[in-house]
Chain A
Amino acid sequence: MLQINKETSGKGLVYKLSGRLDTITSPDLEKELKASMDGIESLELDLDKLEYISSAGLRVLLSAHKVMSKQGSMKVTHVNSTISEIFEVTGFSDILVIE
């Protein structure tokens, strides 16, 4: 299960994710992002409550990162130790802006 909470403020967009971002749930996030990213200049993904992220989830973050690097910026925040280790292992810590 994945819960996606969305907060918009002008050209900024904040998503709070909780649960598991895996093969089954990542299409939901991908769809949501695709529908909302138009004209957004700053995207923040708050991963505080995210329990797990699989390679399918990483792919969604990567494609969001690619889109945002053209039209603004994207950062991930409140990365907990589990997710941080996955970012470390997969080398995503070198790609994403993590705060």
Chain B
Amino acid sequence: MTISIYSKRFRVHARLAAILFVAAIAVALMSFIHRGPSTLETNRVINITADIFCMVLGLVLFLCCGSDTQWDQDNLNYFLMMIITTFVAAFTDEYSWLVDGKANLIVANKIVNTIYYCTAPGLGYLFWRYVITFLNVEKERTYKWDRFFFIGLSLSILLRIGNIFFGYYFSVDANGVYARERFYPISMFYGYFTLVMTLLLVIRARKRFEKFQVIALFCYALLPMAVGILTIVFYGLSLSSPVIMMVFMLMYCVLNVVQSRKRSVEENEMHLATAIQETVLPRNFPDRTDFDIYASMIPAKDVGGDFYDFFLLDEDHLAMVIADVSGKGIPAALYMMVSKTMIKNQTMAIPTSPSEVLSKVNDQLMENNTAEMFVTAWVGVLNLKSGELVYANAGHEYPVIKHRGESYEILREKHSPPLGCLEDIPFREGKMTLQKGDVLFVYTDGVTEATNVDEQLFGTDRMLQVLNSSETDEPVMIEKTVREGIGKFAHGAPQFDDITMLCMRYDGKDR
């Protein structure tokens, strides 16, 4: 009996149930008016009004829960079933008061009372299941108890059906007057037994509940019990269903408070993670005459798996890194922090050979890679004196280069596999010499795979077009042009992947 709250079937069911709820309330109200409130005794009027109030409350709760998506589905299902059962209890209780004493409605009297009697064990059983699903206890551990309670429930219902013929719990005489019989208290046994057992479980597992939740669960079990005991002594008032429905309201509020508190803690932590990640990406762009650099990373979620890096190895060597960790969110962000540190450390240790840097980092990543994450990375070291650029590419997007006075072009060369895929593999290394005024642009697939509302990709051709439309070759302006170009293209479509760019213009040293 699990229906996903996201599924269409559930929505149809929920809507149908809501319509039935409204119809039942209307019928209940109309029958009440039809019977004539002024002709009824005060206690009946009180009971009937309380029952109708309970039904309205049930409808409101049902609608609130149905539109709430923060529930565990199994748990929600049992909660909804509890609401429905209480609703039925209120409805049948109301009717039993309306038909009582009508000689022509004996059968109806028996039926509504039997249904009403069935709701108590039903609620006991559902409460047990609700707590179990809340605690998320494995099926095997509660299997025996589950069976026991289920058999008890079936037995209780059978006994209630038997009562129609033998009248040991209650009877309806020839005048249509309802009366409790000798064994009435026994009919309450199963419901109270399951309640007590469930409460014992709650006490045992109290550490897994919040204080308010324990109080709410106890209220659920004890308040109706108190009302029940009261009605054993004083027949005439039956307020169990309204009381139960009020407790549901309480449980619902408690659950919402607890969950929104939890969520705000999570959000807070996420903000911290975002802030930490921002601090590891260099934001101080050095003011130098021999090169100009700018870079940015726009995460798709709060934290991203992309990163860029640049640092001076000595006065004459600039290292540049751009990389993309597979996956998104916290796992990717953690992996990104590790890879970024490794790449920087290895580049400092082996400043002359990016390919060796990558194979060292690859070995380190492979040592304990159970998460099956991989990293695509481009690492380049530029000699600021000679303009010589040595680079290696582990499965990353092709770099784009613009020689002075020419247009932007993609530098197509065969790549090595990404980092973290295979052990002991060599990485290819490339070399080229930059002239003064040449611009290098590296990026992640968030740029080329930005998608618009028609599901078209931004692609390398559009990227080149936008780059070539840039009027200046100031890195900060180039980044801005591409960012705006992507924004214009996406036209409000959601960003699926982190967008990262690094742009560097080589100006050379005056020797």
Interface of B is mostly: loop
Contact, CB under 8 Å: A62 / B398: no
Contact, CB under 8 Å: A59 / B326: yes
Residue in A23, A56, A59, A91 whose beta carbon sits within 8 Å of that of B417 in the complex: A91
Q: Does A71 contact B (CB under 8 A)?
A: no
A19 to chain B, nearest CB (A): 11
Chain B residues near A23 (CB-CB < 8 A): 328, 496-497
Q: Does B324 contact A (CB under 8 A)?
A: yes
Chain B residues near A54 (CB-CB < 8 A): 445, 449, 497
Residue in A59, A88, A91, A92 whose beta carbon sits within 8 Å of that of B327 in the complex: A59
Contact, CB under 8 Å: A59 / B372: yes
Q: Does B85 contact A (CB under 8 A)?
A: no
Given A55-B376, A59-B374, A62-B421, decide whether A89 and B326 contact each other with a Cβ distance below 8 A.
no
Chain A residues near B393 (CB-CB < 8 A): 91
From 401 to 458 in chain B, residues with beta carbon under 8 angstroms from any chain A beta carbon are 414-418, 421-422, 425, 445, 449, 457
From 42 to 56 in chain A, residues with beta carbon under 8 angstroms from any chain B beta carbon are 52, 54-56
Residue in A63, A88, A92 whose beta carbon sits within 8 Å of that of B372 in the complex: A63
Complex Cα gap A63–B422 (Å): 11
Q: Does B397 contact A (CB under 8 A)?
A: yes
Number of A positions contacting B (CB below 8 A): 18
Q: Does A90 contact B (CB under 8 A)?
A: yes
Contact with A along B309-343 (1 / 0, CB 8 A): 00000000000000010111000000000000000
Given A55-B324, A56-B326, A58-B326, decide whether A89 and B415 contact each other with a Cβ distance below 8 A.
yes
B471 to chain A, nearest CB (A): 29
Contact, CB under 8 Å: A95 / B422: yes
Chain A residues near B508 (CB-CB < 8 A): none
Chain B residues near A90 (CB-CB < 8 A): 376, 395-396, 415, 417-418
From 195 to 227 in chain B, residues with beta carbon under 8 angstroms from any chain A beta carbon are none
Contact, CB under 8 Å: B324 / A95: no
For A64, give the chain B residue with the smallest CB separation.
B372
Q: Does B83 contact A (CB under 8 A)?
A: no
Q: Identify which of A22, A55, A58, A94 gathers the most chain B CB atoms within 10 Å of its CB.
A: A55
Complex Cα gap A95–B419 (Å): 12
Chain B residues near A94 (CB-CB < 8 A): 416-417, 425
A78 to chain B, nearest CB (A): 22
A72 to chain B, nearest CB (A): 18
Given A55-B326, A89-B397, A91-B395, decide whether A66 and B445 contact each other with a Cβ distance below 8 A.
no
Chain B residues near A91 (CB-CB < 8 A): 376, 393-395, 415-418
Contact, CB under 8 Å: A95 / B421: yes
Contact with B along A17-58 (1 / 0, CB 8 A): 000001100000000000000000000000000001011101
A-B contact pairs, 6 of them (CB 8 A): A54-B449, A55-B376, A56-B327, A66-B372, A90-B395, A92-B395
